[in-house]
Structure 1
Amino acid sequence: MKWFALLLVVLSAFAIVNGVKTAAYAQDHANLVSEVQSLKLDRDKLNSDWTQLLLEQKTLVNDHAIEKAIADGLNLHMPLAKQVVYLD
């Protein structure tokens, strides 16, 4: 009978330890899921910023190319003050 009581105590202790470990693992899992969601939001924000920067860069490159084509190919320039005629 004594060995049965000892076995019951040992098995109960294992069950309690496993319960505590399970609760700790569940908490760790919840923390990791929260961190992953936060990192995904950061990733999405960075992707949005990157896309915006690429669009701005393309706009700047196009403006520069247009200005260069005007200056080189079309031989356009800013008129001097005495060349400007104002109409009423």
Structure 2
Amino acid sequence: MNRLGLVVLVLAGLVVASAIAVVETKHQSRSLFVKLEALRSERDELNTDWSRLRLEQGALATHSRVDRIARDDLSLRVPDPDDTTVLGADAQESSP
């Protein structure tokens, strides 16, 4: 009976250890799931921001906006044809 009691005690210890391992694994699984959902939410927010920024970049880079800023803010203008020099691979430099 002493040997049987020892076997039962060892088996009970193994059952308790197995139960603790199951609880720990379940806790880790839930923690990782919460983290996964938070990361998915962050990914969705970043995708939304990225789309908004791409639209904003497209709006800021329109030709008419760049032209308006060049003329109004930077006082740039199209040079007169007399003030330009065209250089080519086989052409000589001409002075105005």
Number of positions where the alignment pairs a residue of Structure 1 with one of Structure 2? 70
| Residues 31-82 of structure 1, C-alpha deviations (whole Å, 9 max, x = no match) | 10001001100010010001000000001111xx12429965xxxxxxxxxx
The structural deviation recorded for 1:23 is 0.3
2:62 is the counterpart of 1:57:
no
Q: Which contiguous aligned blocks of 4+ residues in structure 1 show a shift greater than 6 angstroms? A: none
What is the Cα deviation at residue 21 of structure 1?
1.1
Q: Which has the higher helix share?
A: 1
AA in 1 matched with 2:54: L
The equivalent of 1:12 in structure 2 is 12
The unaligned stretches of length 5 or more in structure 2 are 72-76, 79-96
- Consecutive unaligned residues of structure 1, counting only runs of 5 or more, are 73-88
Could you tell me which residue of structure 1 aligns to residue 64 of structure 2?
A: 66
Which residue matches 1:44? 44
Q: Which has the higher contact order (CA 8 A, sep 6+)?
A: 2
Sequence identity percentage: 24
Q: TM-score, normalised by structure 1?
A: 0.73
Q: For residue 60 of structure 2, give the secondary structure of its aligned residue in structure 1.
A: helix
